[in-house]
Structure 1
Amino acid sequence: MYGKLETRTFLAMLVGVSLAFVLLMKPFFGPIFWAVAIALIFHPVREGLARRVGNRPNLIALLTLLICLIIVIIPVLALVTSLVAEGLSVYQKIQEGELRPGEYIDRVNQSFPAIEAFFAQFGMDFAEVRDRVVSAFVGGSQFMAKQALGFGQNTFQFFLGLALMVYLAFFLLRDGSKLVDMLIRALPLGDERERLLFAKFAEVTRATVKGNLLIAIIQGALGGFIFWILGIQGALLWGVVMAIVSLIPAVGAALVWLPAAIYLAATGEIVSAVILTAFGVIVIGLSDNLLRPILVGRDTKLPDYIVLLSTLGGIVMFGINGFVMGPLVAALFMAFWGIFVREFGEVPGVPVNNMHVTTTETQQSEKPRPD
């Protein structure tokens, strides 16, 4: 009896200390999460270097991290800095009266009177919609301006988070395999299940980060290119904005190029409007429709509609990190239920394969993964 009491007390304290540690790490959730993502994505690079350099873990981790800095972190920082600077420039032009969003909407309304009638069918006042759009546009530019000022005021905090991310990524690249083995020994879920779940975590993280970021870069570059070709002001800004909104499946970059095409048509630039629309639908749109299922949906073994809903839900719950966290939670949900169905009996009318955890996948997961 006394031994049971000791065990329960120890387990209760273990849970309490673990929760306290999680709360302690909460302010650093972003750097920790992206350090894990870097270690997972660049693990193949690390393994390739290990075969060439030999058993020198510190040097291998350092070289892998340098490659990551050169091809990912530094370009992303440059793009974010450009976005904030362009946003501040737009806000200043609005304040000085060089840009008047309300007039642009009025031109569209004058050229396409049917728009006002369309809104009226749904009981919506076009003038009210116009004011809301203008407020949203001005609010967005104000947000960019605040981010520019905040970046200058919180430079130390920003670089502290960046340094922490790089620091953690180094140790995860060096000791990731040992940490995974330690967690497998510590967690009371059964080694087979734990290896399956760790494999699913690594698979989904790689697929969503690489897939979504690659799609965002491609769509942003294509959108900025066509805006530059057509002489649309702020091509760099709109290209970066298209890269960001392209993280939203099914809608993506059309949130930017479609209103631009409508405005070009309203101002009489029919040829430019047609070119932008055709380019947006055929080139930008197809790049999303073709690449997203291949790079994200296929690797995560999730249906397209689950990828869409989980991405949107993740962005709402976790912010920008949600484009990875959402599909990750959905994939782990499917994996847990797949394990349950396989081990505790099939759900009537639902084949085990629909749960995305097959016997072959489970057998593969029994092999230690260094991720």
Structure 2
Amino acid sequence: MDSHAPQSPPPPFSPKIEDGFFLGVVLLVSVAFFLVIQPFLAAILWGVIAAILFAPVYRNILAAIPTHQNAAALITLFLILVIVIVPAFVLGAALLQEAAHFYGKIQSGEIDFARLFSQAMASLPEWTRPYLGRIGLSNFDAAQAMLTKGITSSFRMLAAQAFQIGQSAFSFFMALGVMLYLSYFLLRDGEKLSQRIAVAAPLRASQRQALIQQFVIVIRATIKGSLVVAIVQGLIGGIVFWALGIQGALLWGVLMGAFSLLPAIGTAIVWVPVAIFLFASGAIWKAIILVACGVMIIGMVDNVLRPILVGRDTRIPDYVVLITTLGGIELFGFNGIVIGPVIAALFIATWNIFTRMRLTGSGAAG
């Protein structure tokens, strides 16, 4: 056999195999990249949120100095620090101080929830006793013990959380630095980056546009329509509590702001029990003022501010917001306040696109 005979060329490699292998590499590298940035996912999330919310501010500043993108981004970042970061630090420090002071009063016996509860129950009319028995409050000693134990354990948990925050201060400031650093570049290069992501995403133009639009809408709706309203309601509630001489006004205000994020629960879960206690303890005028402020001012903030900040057409149904917010908090902690509704909005958007595709044929989503 002639060793110099021409050999047949190797069979051509299937493009499908090459494409499949490259797709596997893309997925593998993407998973590895996700694992690398996982410790800073919260910082990345809030960096994206800050860039989305302050993008109009950046564009207005850039319009005034069109050839200085870096300066416009730095000025916007400074505004984020002044408007958001610094007030959040001041509020957090004041809240921790108030919580420690309030907890100290509980430990010293200056604030005795058992005694206050007993006084409130004793001042209730006689005809209320059967109704209290039906809901398990006829045994005053057991109810007092349960209430005192619950409140005391809550403050211990808050103290433990504050201690953990102090221990992880380095990690917190590192994450804050990552958030601000990312916000700077997203403000400056966000439009270019979003265009590159849009081109790379394996979606039709209509699908891509619908998902991006829904993502931006729900971010703005969640922050502007929920957090801003929560801040205003908590601020008003705290001022009302302070004016009425109720101890721990800052704590109550923060609690009202937190509960206002949850539809169907709202601030009433805080001020209604306090108003009932004031009625029962004989502070009738304070209770009337608190109820009036709760209904006419605190409760109306949501109905007045939310449509102005968000608009009525961008709202997710309240029951969806409630379920996804609670589920998001359970899975992701505080960040779930944003992540839960965002996932819900994208879920609704993708199923709307899929439904339109089925109705109009498999070609495109209208």
Residue 296 (structure 1) shift: 4.9
Say if 1:297 and 1:303, in contact at 8 Å, map to a contact too: no
Residue number among 120, 140, 160 corresponding to 1:108 in the alignment: 120
Of 134, 137, 140, which residue of structure 2 is paired with 1:121?
Answer: 134
Alignment of 1:139-178 (within 5 A): 139-178=153-192
Partner amino acid, structure 2, of 1:67: L
User: Do 2:96 and 2:162's aligned partners in 1 also have CA atoms closer than 8 Å?
Assistant: yes
Amino acid at match of 1:246: S
From 4, 28, 31, give the equivalent of 2:16. 4
Letter in 2 for 1:136: G
Residue aligning to 2:62: 50
Q: Which one of the candidate residues 13, 17, 38 is aligned to 2:25?
A: 13
Is 1:233 aligned to residue 247 of structure 2?
A: yes
> Within 1, Cα distance between the matches of 2:165 and 2:127?
43
For residue 5 of structure 1, report the CA deviation from its aligned partner: 1.9
Distance 1:114 1:101, change over 3 A: farther
Q: 1:183 — aligned with what?
A: 197
Structure 1 distance, partners of 2:191, 2:216, is 12
Looking at structure 2, the residues matched to 156 and 123 of structure 1 have their Cα atoms a distance apart, in angstroms, of: 47
The answer as to whether partners of 1:224 and 1:240 remain within 8 angstroms in 2 is: yes
- Aligned pairs for 1:346-365 (under 5 A) are none
Asked if residue 91 in structure 1 is aligned to residue 88 in structure 2, the reply is: no
SS of 1:42 mapped into structure 2:
helix
Structure 1 counterpart of 2:9 = none
Shift in Å at residue 275 of structure 1? 0.9
Query: How many equivalent residue pairs?
Result: 349
Further displaced range: 128-137 or 208-217: 128-137
1:144-190 per-position Cα deviation (integer Å, ceiling 9, x unaligned): 22233333322222211111111111111111111111111111112
Q: Deviations over 1:33-64 (max 9, x none)?
A: 00000000001001101110113221111111
The answer to whether the 8 Å contact 2:262/2:321 transfers is: no
Using the alignment, how far apart are the partners of 1:242 and 1:60 within structure 2?
A: 36
Instruction: Say which is worse superposed, 246-255 or 195-204, in terms of deviation.
Output: 246-255
Counterparts in 2 of 1:228 and 1:308: CA distance versus 1, 3 Å: same
How far is the alpha carbon of 1:299 from its aligned partner? 5.2
Contact 1:88 1:148 (8 Å CA) reproduced: no
Is 1:138 the counterpart of 2:152? The answer is yes
Distance verdict in 2 for CA 1:123–1:221, change over 3 Å: closer
Contact kept? 2:275, 2:290, Cα under 8 Å: yes
Equivalent in the alignment of 1:40: 52
SS of aligned partner of 1:54: coil
Task: Tell me which structure has the larger Cα radius of gyration.
Answer: 2
Give structure 1 stretches of 5+ with no counterpart: 348-357, 360-371
Aligned to 2:238: 224
| CA 1:256–1:123: 2 relative to 1, 3 Å | closer
Identical pairs, percent: 44
Deviates more, 1:105-114 or 1:221-230: 105-114
1:28 & 1:324 partners in 2: Cα distance?
16
TM superposition score normalised by structure 2:
0.88
Residue-by-residue CA offset, 1:231-287 (whole Å, 9 max, x unaligned): 112222222222222212232222221221122112211111111111112211121
Per-residue CA distance 1:89-123 (angstroms, 9 max, x = gap): 11121111111122222222222366663354356
Please say if 1:318 is aligned against 2:318.
no
> Which has the higher relative contact order, 1 or 2, with Cα contacts under 8 A spaced 6 or more apart?
1
Residues 221 and 315, structure 2, Cα contact 8 Å, conserved in 1: no
Tell me the residue number matched to 1:272: 286
Secondary structure of 1:22's partner?
helix
Letter in 2 for 1:49: I
Q: What aligned pairs does 1:59-78 form with structure 2 within 5 A after superposition?
A: 59-78=71-90
User: How far apart are residue 297 of structure 1 and its match?
Assistant: 6.8
1:285-364 → structure 2 map (5 Å cutoff): 285-292=299-306, 295-296=309-310, 298=312, 300-345=314-359
2: CA distance, partners of 1:239 / 1:22: 38
In structure 1, distance between residues paired with 2:326 and 2:80: 27
Q: Distance in 1 between matches of 2:101 and 2:48?
A: 35
Alignment partner, residue 193 of structure 1:
207
Using the TM superposition, name which of 133-142 and 118-127 deviates more.
118-127
Q: 1:220 to 1:122 in 2, by over 3 A?
A: closer
Larger CA deviation: 312-321 vs 209-218:
312-321
Question: Any idea what SS the aligned residue of 1:188 has?
Answer: coil
Farther-moved stretch of structure 1 (101-110 vs 115-124)? 115-124
Give the 3 Å change call, closer, same or farther, for CA 293–302 of structure 1 in structure 2: farther
Using the alignment, how far apart are the partners of 1:214 and 1:110 within structure 2? Answer: 40
8 Å Cα contact 1:109/1:115 also seen in 2: no
Following superposition, the deviation at residue 314 of structure 1 comes to 2.5
